[in-house]
Amino acid sequence: MFDWIKERHRAGKQKSENTGTGKVLYGPIPKSIRAVRERLDEIFSCCSDVIIRVIACGEKKKIIVVYIDGFIDKRLLNQDVIHPVINFLTNVESKDDVSIYDWLKECVVINSDLKDANDMGQAVHGIVSGEAAIFIDGEDRALVAGVKTPEGRQVEEPDTETSIRGSREGFVENLVTNMVLIRKRIKNPELKMEMMQLGERTKTDICICYIKGIANEQILEEVRKRLREIKTDAILDTGIIEQYICDNRLSLFPTVGNSEKCDKLAGKLLEGRVAIICDGTPYVLTVPYLFIESIQTTDDYFDHAFFATFMRILRLIALMISNLLPSIYVALVVFHQTVIPFKLMITFAASQQGIPFPPFVEVLLMIIAFEFLREAGVRMPKPIGEALSIVGAIVLGEASVAAGIASNLMVIVTAITAVCSFIVPPFIRVTMLLRFVFLAAANFMGFFGIILVGITVYIHLCRLRSFGVPYMAPFAPLTVPDLKDSIIMVPVWAMITRPKILRQQENVRGIKGSKRQREENRK
């Protein structure tokens, strides 16, 4: 089935490249201002928000200014474009031997963001992007002035990634603002930002961000290649880009990272990763993405290494508990009662007294009920969602025990599983599905089924790649220098080299340092 989908996609892509399907060609700009007006009326028909302003003084040449109402700053438009053009046209007689286009570009329009549009397509793109296009009678080109109004929310702390000691600034939906936030943290001309557009209809602005000399050129070229191969009508979020560029599209595990925090992204860039910023979304993608990054946080690097190591171990244990605890409970009760201590076995037997369902069905119902509450808390308005998830869980747990549908131990197991699943946010959706797989294996084969599924998942993780980099690095393959920033974290001052597995061109983090650091650098 999937081979058929790939074949159809490849055929559609080839047809699009051969016939140009989806690409609207507007042609050259007419020299006659009347023809320009007719062409604009045809292109923007039924667009009531498109304003076409005609400026003329007597019998002199006319000028048309086109913009989208509400998308531009009218004060800036009047100050930089309209007012200077009107003043110029009133005195144009003394400049009849000079091109009006050159005068407007070099002397009259005072906007700092002024570009040429050599065909109607470029002018239309500027208009729909929030800029003002200036058409001049007798000219087959136009000027595009950047007068876009600042829109969107202000820079604030992201709700999805809270920090104790780190920066409170998070990315917003404006691409330019996000680029500035990165520049504030990496003040270096080697920080490169390449612009491109994706989406045949949306023409969404995309920025590829990396540090030249640190980022691997092969990975960078692979990023450019995969982005250029995206053929779709709309790119509305980085989540769409992620599904197109990820290595294994059928894998549950994410091979492309995402973040809303500026300081976190700056650290990833300095390690040699490549970032992909999309206009209209606060989430920024980073590649390559490794399994170990799921248990790392920015606060780890701002705290003592011992505390950071302890917290990473706790996160790894929580990840295992969220996947395995319900299945271990079912395996113990159904298959392996003999390994349970006698006193604990009595407690298990007492809790199961009067429960009409087998342990597997009991666990399944409780986990599904928890997923219902979690999804309802996410989708409902924030004040209602918080109350629903907290009160609903308490009421549902107590009512289930009182009605004899679930045991006390089952409620405790579900609660611990739920808490642990939130400790590692990148794997919330992964653990949600894997939990059911482990649970089914435990119900049919006990611990043997759990071990079998666990080995299968581990083999799958070892086979995964993220832009050519092994997903389980630095453990598989074992990369000893990179273990300094894995589960056990060494102090920041001892992290002399960048991750070796990324194969950077410049592997040493700093030239200067202590005598010990300089000696290790020479080695």
Residue 60 predicted with pLDDT over 70: no
Tokens of 160: 């999805």
The tokens for 246 are 């990820």
Question: Angle 272-278-279 (CA atoms, 0-180°, nearest 5)?
Answer: 140
Checking if the pLDDT of 227 tops 90, the result is yes
pLDDT band, very low/low/confident/very high, at 6 (cuts 50, 70, 90): low
pLDDT at 390: 65
Please give the average per-residue pLDDT across 107-133, as a whole number. 86
Q: Which residue has the higher pLDDT, 190 or 348?
A: 190
Q: Which of 190-194, 305-309, 365-369 has the lowest mean pLDDT?
A: 365-369
In this prediction, what percent of the chain has a pLDDT beyond 70?
A: 86
**Average pLDDT taken over every residue of the chain:** 82
Mean pLDDT of the 274-294 span: 92
Please report which confidence band the pLDDT of residue 515 belongs to, taking 50, 70 and 90 as the band edges. Answer: very low
Give pLDDT, residue 158: 84
Please say whether the beta carbons of 147 and 83 come within 8 A.
no
518 vs 496: CA distance, rounded Å: 9
The answer to whether the beta carbons of residues 185 and 267 sit under 8 Å apart is no
DSSP assignment string, 457-515: HHHHHHH-EETTEETTTTTTTT-GGGGGBSSSB--GGG--B--GGG--S--BS-S---H
Q: Vertex 356, ends 351 and 361: CA angle to 5°? A: 90
The band of 241, judged by pLDDT with boundaries at 50, 70 and 90, is: very high
Token code pair at residue 10: 């490849």
Quick: pLDDT tens for 375-407. 877 777 766 666 666 666 666 777 777 777 777
Model pLDDT, residue 17: 45
State how far the Cα of 462 lies from the Cα of 366, in Å rounded to an integer. Answer: 32
Question: How large a percentage of the chain has pLDDT more than 90?
Answer: 25
Are 137 and 33 in contact, with CB atoms under 8 Å apart?
Answer: yes
Query: Read out DSSP for 142-206?
Result: EEEE--BPP-SPPP---SSS--SSS---B--S-HHHHHHHHHHH---TTEEEEEEEE-TTT-EEE
Q: Could you report the per-residue pLDDT of 425-441, keeping only the tens digit for each?
A: 889 889 989 999 999 99
Q: What is the mean pLDDT of residues 447-469?
A: 92
Whether the Cβ atoms of residue 327 and residue 441 lie closer than 8 Å to each other: yes
pLDDT class of 156 with cuts at 50, 70, 90 = confident
Over range 213-238, report the average pLDDT: 91
Determine how many CB atoms are found less than 10 A away from the CB of residue 323: 27
Residue 286 is given by DSSP the state E
Residue range 170-180, pLDDT digits in tens: 899 888 889 99
Q: Quick check: pTM over 0.85?
A: no
Average pLDDT over residues 202-213: 91
Per-residue DSSP letter, 91: T
Task: Determine the pLDDT at residue 342.
Answer: 77
Considering only 151-165, 176-190, 316-330, 424-438, which range has the smallest mean pLDDT? 151-165
Q: Within its chain, how far is the Cα of 372 from the centroid?
A: 26
**Using CA atoms, how far apart are residues 390 and 363, in angstroms rounded to an integer?**
20
Number of H helices, E strands in the chain: 18, 12
Q: Which range (63-77, 121-135, 391-405) has the least confidence?
A: 391-405
